[in-house]
Amino acid sequence: MAPEGYVEYKRREFCKDVKCPVQLELGRQKEGSHEYEQTRKKCSSACLCTTWQFHHWLIEKGYLILKPKASSE
């Protein structure tokens, strides 16, 4: 849950913004279909982008990465 006044990252927002070819292919398929699931596996096993790219995209778009404080701190 996002703190008041903030929005959460929406699923695949980065992928859509950078026009990932796998994401574009997913957009043409019916969610839940065999083809969709096969294409989706490409994202989890062979993403075309790096975590560095994603992290810097988040910063560029103004996202903050928040973590709840542990109760023992």
pLDDT digits (tens, 9 = 90+) for 11-70: 899 999 999 999 999 989 999 999 999 999 988 888 999 999 999 999 999 999 888 888
Q: Is residue 2 part of a domain?
A: no
Q: Is residue 73 part of a domain?
A: no
pTM: 0.76
DSSP class of 25:
H
Q: Is residue 48 part of a domain?
A: yes
Residue 53, domain extent: 13-60
Q: Is residue 17 part of a domain?
A: yes
Q: What total of structural domains would you count in the chain?
A: 1
Token code pair at residue 3 = 């703190």
Q: Is residue 55 part of a domain?
A: yes
Q: Is residue 46 part of a domain?
A: yes
**Whole-number Å distance between alpha carbons of 22 and 43:** 7
